[in-house]
A and B are shown apart, each in its own frame.
Chain A
């Protein structure tokens, strides 16, 4: 059914419309209303809502001129559309001015502050709930804890180990080419050990876990929030922080140091292998230099940070999840926010730790 293109003719001071007045055809139709005082639609074959709007708009532009020749169905349609004409012209999209941009910046700063306060409050709530477990250990959901330890800990071992192994290889390779210029090849052991044990092992593990588990926390809790499961929990007298948040955060706190330890070991192994191939530093020389030069504190400094990073990742992942609203879009947005914010804060915390350890002289 190819539509007949509509036409407008003038007869006896009336505009006579003919053809099909349909949504696809009225847009191209333009006509001069000068001197006309009526609209005749008797010859209109088909008319839809857009066509009816066109006829009414035409009549309105001529100062509420009468519309004649409508069939019963067309009258019904015209009446329906007339009843639902938007009042006034539709307002155009507001334009952005400089003032709006300033306002936007101010709003962001204000929101940032508010979120920081909220997040601190949530952190306090989580820590308080964690502490109350010492007094009421039976409130701990053990099954859930073990499940999450497997999810965030055991299942992350391969990726963490592989990543750290490769980082060890890269460090040894890059370090050896520089140190060879001074004939100080054997110091590659110190380079690898200090950078992996103090910083890289745990920092990169935290970043991987934030991307892997922090996002999973937000997505899981967020979709429960979307389907009102969290509200259902509250009505059953279950505390979401205790049921959903504490097992996840605790699982992270318990497993991140272990993952960090695995990362340290595999980083050192990677470094040792590369030193052997590239510099001929045999594994036994590597081991003896490691034991002689590196004291246990280098390892301690790295691993002490793990529980704090875990707390940051877990709390932010869960906090963003609980912020999810009714629509699917907010779930996606908050999941990515959760990863970005937790990685950012992990690095900030790492910097603060560096300053702290420098001050206490470790």
Chain B
């Protein structure tokens, strides 16, 4: 249910609002007062060192993990205090792509993409097949990949298929967990282009956990840095370069960052 008319960021209400989030695993505190707003129609990149809880944050927003304190609202609705029906309806409006695709290994690629349609909607079979076919091609997979099983696919193809499944129902928000990790530079750049193009065409809001400086630079509208158990800074790439924090400085001024910055910017066609 994309809303293309409404993706220019007119509405001031954030599509995802996180307030005072606290998450502990035993004695280990991962998040201690995380605040974050995601605006409708933007691509936000979440960065942070290993173990700073980027994926944990994602899992909490989509309701897979329960926060110890704090409030998470998506589409203005709390994710935790909802009835099962409301949560079901909420889930229909977002799609999640896990790190390694998390495809169902007993289903072919096309069946994987059809799975959400099958569960959520009552579509005629040939329409479902056609739509799944379009989604598979949209993410840049060959038609011949449709009938393959996840174990026959390469890592990059699995990620693409996972992305196709995440956008199967044309959700308003897509959560991506390290979409370009483990891809070759050409594949990663193609994935970036793909995300950018689909975001424009479908009016998606993209919440992306990533380490890829190139993607951050190429497609992210804003970047949020997770460090010291909270969101340390949110802003554009240019804002990040100004932040005076040792880790952020190291991250965005390191040799790899300089190379990425020299590469080109968001508005350039890659």
Contacts and interface: CB of A to CB of B under 8 A. Distances in A.
A23 B170 contact: yes
Given A22-B1, A22-B170, A47-B4, A53 B138 contact: no
Interface stretch (A84-92, A184-192, A233-241, A276-284): A84-92
Contacts of B121: 23-24, 27
Contacts of B124: 27
Contacts of A326: 150-151
A94 B143 CA distance: 17
A50 B4 CA distance: 14
Contacts of B202: 48-49, 77
Contacts of A76: 200-201
Contacts of A74: 4
B201 A73 contact: yes
A80 B2 contact: no
Looking at chain B's contact residues, is the secondary structure mostly helix, strand, loop, or mixed? Answer: helix
Interface string B120-156: 0111101101110111011000010000011100000
Given A23-B169, A87-B143, A328-B105, A53 B134 contact: yes
A325 to B, nearest CB: 6
Contact of A327 (B151, B197, B198): B151
Contacts of B200: 73, 76
A86 B130 contact: yes
Nearest to B198: A80
Contacts of A27: 121-124, 127
Interface string A4-30: 000000000000000000111011000
B228 interface: no
Contacts of A53: 130-131, 134
Q: Which of B117, B135, B170 has the most CB of A within 10 A?
A: B170
Interface of A: 1, 3, 22-24, 26-27, 45-50, 53, 71, 73-74, 76-77, 79-81, 83-87, 89-90, 325-330
Given A74-B4, A326-B151, 6 more contacts: A27-B127, A45-B5, A46-B5, A48-B2, A53-B131, A328-B105
